[in-house]
């Protein structure tokens, strides 16, 4: 599980964001904080993998908190979740190492895509060792691919259908064929194939070929 600290001065917003985090498989909102001081104390008691951080806090800004964390050697990953949308703040967040920046107000789908991108990045780092250029490119592209949210689906495609296909793939223990996905999602094979191609182009699934004794190789899809 990826442990998340949710930091927001509005207690209701913090609870909503924590509930959103809990809905994404593989994540849990282990703690909430409503000020920079509370967040710092929480991180000193026990580390987390990721901080969802508001910029406007009552005692100091979120970016000031990030600066203090780095000075203390705390390298916890940070995703800014804030109403601050001026370019100067966005640029400062990038320079201080924020991995993503989500502007309020946002939907659950918007946060989910950021978290899924982070999870892909988290998995890429788990193995350690050396990386070829292709692996480096995949690591740097992991967060960027999270931007392809439901709102960016091509015309004629349904967010609900895309979510059904994604859910089947994410919970599968092995690569699936288009027919497997169609059966589990309750779709026609042609419909499943259309959405699988979209996910492949977005870098969310890996395509492999399974060769049988006769006929053409079967396309199989694995969530990455």
Q: CA 33, 114, 34: angle at the middle one, nearest 5?
A: 10
Give the pLDDT confidence score for residue 107 in this predicted structure: 85
pLDDT digits (tens, 9 = 90+) for 176-222: 999 999 999 999 999 999 999 888 877 778 888 887 666 678 899 99
Residue labelled with tokens 């969802």: 52
Q: Indicate the pLDDT class of residue 166, thresholds 50, 70 and 90.
A: confident
Cis peptide, bond prior to residue 153, ω within 30 of zero: no
Residues 6+ apart with CB under 8 A from 49: 2, 3, 4, 76, 77, 122
Residue carrying the six token digits 């969530």: 223
The average pLDDT across 57-81 equals: 93
First to last CA, the chain: 16
pLDDT band at 148 (very low <50, low <70, confident <90, very high): very low
pLDDT score of 3: 95
Q: What is the pLDDT of residue 213?
A: 65
Of 35-44, 56-65, 109-118, the least confident = 109-118
User: Is 17 in contact with 8 (CB distance < 8 Å)?
Assistant: yes
């Amino acid at each position: 599980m990826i442990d998340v600290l949710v930091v927001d001065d509005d207690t209701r917003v913090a609870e909503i964001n924590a509930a959103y985090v809990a809905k994404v498989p593989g994540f849990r909102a282990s703690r909430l904080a409503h000020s920079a001081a509370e967040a710092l104390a929480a991180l000193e008691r026990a580390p987390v993998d990721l901080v969802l951080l508001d910029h406007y806090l009552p005692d100091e800004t979120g970016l000031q908190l990030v600066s203090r964390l780095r000075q203390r050697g705390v390298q916890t990953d940070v995703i800014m979740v804030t109403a601050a949308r001026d370019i100067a703040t966005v640029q400062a967040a990038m320079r201080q190492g924020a991995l993503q920046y989500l502007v309020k107000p946002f939907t659950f789908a918007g946060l989910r895509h950021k978290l899924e991108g982070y999870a892909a990045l988290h998995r890429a780092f788990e193995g350690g060792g050396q990386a070829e250029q292709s692996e480096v490119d995949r690591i740097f592209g992991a967060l960027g691919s999270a931007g392809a949210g439901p709102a960016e689906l091509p015309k004629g495609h349904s967010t609900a259908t895309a979510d059904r296909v994604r859910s089947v793939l994410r919970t599968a223990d092995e690569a699936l064929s288009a027919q497997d996905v169609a059966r589990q999602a309750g779709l026609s094979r042609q419909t499943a194939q259309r959405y699988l191609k979209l996910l492949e182009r977005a870098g969310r699934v890996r395509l492999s070929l399974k060769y049988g004794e006769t006929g053409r190789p079967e396309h199989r899809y694995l969530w990455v």
